[in-house]
Amino acid sequence: MNPRTRVLTALKHEEPDRIPIDIGSTPTTAIHVFAYRDIRRMLNLPERPIRIFDFGQQLAEVEKRAFRVFPC
């Protein structure tokens, strides 16, 4: 099952092969800076300043390195 069909299957309330995960791959599905910080710590990624692209909502810019940890 590819990522698109996985999400569409879940949206139809059917069971996909695994749970679709999105940690902020687009501005529409963004992730809060605190949640992203915690995910980075959980993945043992090096501590570094997190870039914020929306200061009002405190939305983090997710690094490609974090995306590679979660398979599509």
Residue 14 lies in a domain: no
Q: Is 54 helix (H, G, I), strand (E, B) or coil?
A: strand
Residue 8 lies in a domain: no
Residue 11 lies in a domain: no
Taking the C-alpha atoms of residue 67 and residue 15, their distance in angstroms, rounded to an integer, is 23
What Rg value do the Cα atoms of the chain yield, rounded?
14
Domain count, the chain: 1
* 2-56 residue pLDDT tens: 988 999 999 999 999 998 887 777 778 889 999 999 988 988 888 899 999 999 9
Report the pLDDT value the prediction gives residue 72, as an integer from 0 to 100: 58
Residue 64 lies in a domain: yes
Residue 67 lies in a domain: yes
Tell me the two tokens of residue 49.
Answer: 């300043």
Report the pLDDT value the prediction gives residue 68, as an integer from 0 to 100: 75
52 contacts 60 by C-beta, under 8 angstroms: yes
Residue 54 lies in a domain: yes
Residue 2 lies in a domain: no
Please give the residue range of the domain that contains residue 60.
23-72
Report the pLDDT value the prediction gives residue 63, as an integer from 0 to 100: 84
In the block, residue with structure tokens 């990624």: 45
* 26-39 residue pLDDT tens: 778 889 999 999 98
14 contacts 8 by C-beta, under 8 angstroms: no
